[in-house]
A and B are shown apart, each in its own frame.
Chain A
Amino acid sequence: MKTSDQWLDRLAPWALPLLLLAAWQVLVSSGWLSSRILPPPTAVLSAGWALLSSGEIWSHLAISSWRAGVGLAIGGGLGLALGFISGLSRWGERFLDSSVQMIRNIPHLALIPLVILWFGIDESAKVFLVALGSLFPIYLNTYHGIRNVDAGLVEMSRSYGLSGFSLFWQVILPGALPSILVGLRFALGFMWLTLIVAETISASSGIGYLAMNAREFLQTDVVVLAIVLYALLGKLADTAARLLERLWLRWHPAYQKKGANA
């Protein structure tokens, strides 16, 4: 009985999506829903297959992932660095924090017109926007994480002779890591959101461009396919972040699910 329970546990999250897909297919093929509004799942699949076999989809996926990755690396790296500065030094906090908080409150997508003026519809425009979108969640959580490192542990470590870089590397960074990883997950969300908007507005390649281009030719199936691709990529990024948490927070009681004595 136990194994069948386990299977049920595994399958349960998929039941609702599968049911919705089936309902969708039935509604469209029975004519209740025009395929102009929503193409049936089979059409989306075949559109995907066509793009896959022509190889076109790979170039779009690659360019979108490249933009997301580079933007996240730049924005996340800057956010991490600024967070360290604000978190580690009083002077840095006074100098930086209020300015960063001020800029943070501007919705970064409001900068799109300005960004187009600056960079045109070049790659750098999209990378810039993604970087801006992922900078603040990482900054905020890094800063917050460092500030909340247990002062008792820092005091203890100092009394055992740690200071400077070794104190940072062995105590402050691992102590702030749970919070930094929360920031990373937020940043991944912002990363896709920004990329979708940027690619939809101004691009000549990428998944957003694929969707906009398909819209002009009334290829609803390709539009839906693009949305599904975004969902899959988002899920992939989230899974990657979870893996990092599992790897780096093994010590944390919350991540020691089974075999506490392992």
Chain B
Amino acid sequence: MTAQQPPRQNNGTALKIRTLSKSFGDLQVLNNIDLDIPAGQFVAVVGRSGCGKSTLLRLLAGLDQATSGALLAGGAPLADNRADTRLMFQDSRLLPWKKVIDNVGLGLRGDWRPRAFDALRAVGLADRAWQWPATLSGGQKQRVALARALIHQPRLLLLDEPLGALDALTRIEMQQLIESLWQQHGFTVLLVTHDVSEAVSVADRVILIEEGEIGLDLTIDVPRPRAHGSFRLAQLEAQVLDRVLARPANPEQPEKVSPLPTQLRWAL
């Protein structure tokens, strides 16, 4: 188990998106998207509000139907195995009239209680199992929602800005939790987010969607665990932001301001 590459147990869905389009009436939201996501990859999808990134997620989750195009998991249509795909919403969408543990077990049959406890333990909330969701904080609710998604052992986990409403510290905690669960289970992740810095720090690959098309497809070649505020991450973040804000990309980064050990050696 090297730090560079998380163990891939090949539990993830290999996602193929082919000429995917979606329009609502006259409004073309997604325009001929083609995308290949290898099994187990952590992909962040960024873009301005209304660029179609959430629509893409809803199509993948089967909540909306594509106007044209295909969604494939391996060789088969993604829709053939709905249970393999789980979506986590921006608002936790816990049923307020079910205890935390019953929310985690939603839609399960048979003896699911022990598994629900395991899922809650994985997100650190086993002691809250018998409480009403109304007594939880925003971050705790999202962790319950995460447990509810994980108990189905998804091969594709879709995250629709699940951290958008959380405070900065809780966000970082949640990012780390999601990252570690992903490393443990090896599912494919599609994280939609507004926050470019979050995207860059947590994902293998950042995809920028602009006006329904893929504007940028960037591999984040930074080994894990990643240090917050690392220079390389900041560079990548700037690259995405420049593109989002339609600024021309900086012509070759000027050499690093603070001299690094290697440069010092040259200077000497």
- Residues of A at the B interface (CB closer than 8 Å) are 152-153, 155-157, 159-162, 170-171, 174-175, 177, 250-253, 256, 260-261
A162 to chain B: closest residue by CB: B107
Tell me, in angstroms, the Cα distance from A157 to B96 when the chains sit together: 13
Q: Is residue B134 contacting chain A, with contact meaning CB distance below 8 A?
A: yes
Partner of A170, one of B61, B87, B95: B95
Query: Is A159's CB under 8 angstroms from B63's CB?
Result: yes
Count contacts between A and B, CB distance < 8 Å: 50
Cβ of A260 and Cβ of B135 under 8 Å apart?
Answer: yes
Residue from B86, B107, B133, B134 with most neighbouring chain A CB atoms (10 Å): B107
User: Is B62 located at the chain interface by the 8 A CB criterion?
Assistant: yes
Residues of chain B contacted by A261 (CB below 8 angstroms): 131, 135
A sample of 28 inter-chain contacts (CB < 8 A) reads A153-B93, A156-B89, A156-B93, A157-B95, A159-B61, A159-B63, A159-B86, A160-B148, A160-B152, A161-B82, A161-B107, A162-B106, A170-B95, A171-B95, A174-B97, A175-B97, A177-B97, A250-B132, A251-B96, A251-B97, A251-B98, A251-B132, A251-B134, A252-B96, A253-B134, A256-B132, A256-B134, A261-B131
In the complex formed, the residue of A with least CB distance to B158 is: A159
Q: Which chain A residues border B249 with CB–CB below 8 Å? A: none
- Tell me which of A156, A161, A251, A252 has the highest count of chain B C-beta atoms within 10 A of its own C-beta: A156
In Å, the complex CA distance between A156 and B145 comes to 11
**Within the assembled complex, what's the spacing in Å between the Cα atoms of A153 and B133?**
14
Q: How far is the CB of A21 from chain B (nearest CB, A)?
A: 42
B83 interface hit (Cβ, 8 Å): yes
Known A-B contacts A251-B134, A253-B134, A256-B134; the reply to A157 vs B107 at CB < 8 A is yes
The binding surface of chain B is classed by DSSP as: loop
List the A side residues contacting B62 at CB < 8 Å: 159
Closest chain A residue, CB of each to CB of B88 = A156
Q: Is the interface of A mostly helix, strand, loop or mixed?
A: helix
Q: How long is the Cα–Cα vector from A159 to B62 in the complex, in angstroms? A: 8
User: Please, which residues of chain A bring their CB within 8 A of the CB of B95?
Assistant: 153, 157, 170-171, 174
Residues in chain B near residue A171, CB distance under 8 A: 95
Question: Provided the pairs A152-B93, A153-B95, A170-B95 are in contact, do residues A159 and B132 lie with their beta carbons within 8 angstroms?
Answer: no
A contact residues around B83 at 8 Å (CB): 161
Are B134 and A252 in touch, CB under 8 angstroms?
A: yes
B61 partner residues in chain A, CB cutoff 8 A: 159
Q: Determine the distance from Cα of A174 to Cα of B106 in the docked complex, in whole angstroms.
A: 14
* Interface membership of chain B positions 28-40, coded 1 if the CB is closer than 8 angstroms to chain A and 0 otherwise: 0000000000000
A contact residues around B118 at 8 Å (CB):
none
Indicate the size class of the contact surface on chain B: 20 to 34
In contact, A160 and B132 (Cβ under 8 angstroms) = no
Least CB distance, A170 to chain B, in whole angstroms:
7
Residue of A nearest to B152 (CB): A160
Confirm or deny: B91 has a beta carbon within 8 angstroms of a beta carbon on chain A: yes
Asked whether B63 lies within 8 Å of A157 as measured between CB atoms, the reply is: no
Within 8 A of A (CB), among B100-119: 106-107
Q: Are B107 and A160 in contact (CB under 8 A)?
A: yes
Give the distance in Å from the alpha carbon of A175 to the alpha carbon of B98 in the complex. 11
A162 cross-chain contacts in B, Cβ below 8 A: 106-107
A34 CB → nearest B CB, Å = 57
For B64-95 the 0/1 string (1 means CB < 8 A from A) is 00000000000000000011001101010101
Q: Are B106 and A157 in contact (CB under 8 A)?
A: yes
Residues of A within 8 A of B135 (CB): 256, 260-261
Restricting to B111-156, which residues have a CB under 8 Å from any CB of A? 131-135, 148, 152
Interface centre among A160, A175, A256 (most CB of B within 10 A): A160
- Which 9 A-B pairs rank lowest in CB-CB distance, beginning with the nearest? A160-B107, A174-B97, A156-B93, A161-B107, A251-B97, A253-B134, A251-B132, A160-B106, A251-B96
Q: How far is the CA of A129 from the CA of B67 in the complex (A)?
A: 55
Q: How far is the CA of A225 from the CA of B148 in the complex (A)?
A: 58
Chain B residues with CB under 8 Å of A256's CB are 132, 134-135
Which residues 47-71 of B have a CB within 8 angstroms of A?
61-63
Task: Select from chain A the residue with minimum beta-carbon distance to B85.
Answer: A159
Q: How far is the CB of A151 from chain B (nearest CB, A)?
A: 10
Taking the closest CB of chain A, its distance from the CB of B164, in whole angstroms, is 14
Residues from chain A with a CB closer than 8 A to the CB of B106 are: 157, 160, 162, 170
Residue of B nearest to A154 (CB): B93
Beyond contacts A159-B63, A170-B95: 20 other A-B pairs, Cβ-Cβ < 8 A, are A152-B91, A152-B93, A153-B93, A153-B95, A156-B93, A157-B107, A160-B148, A161-B82, A161-B83, A162-B106, A170-B106, A174-B95, A177-B97, A250-B132, A251-B96, A251-B97, A252-B96, A252-B134, A256-B132, A256-B134
Q: Complex formed: what's the CA distance from A156 to B58 in Å? A: 11
Residues from chain B with Cβ under 8 Å of A175 in the complex: 97
Q: Report how far A261 CA is from B62 CA in the complex, Å.
A: 37
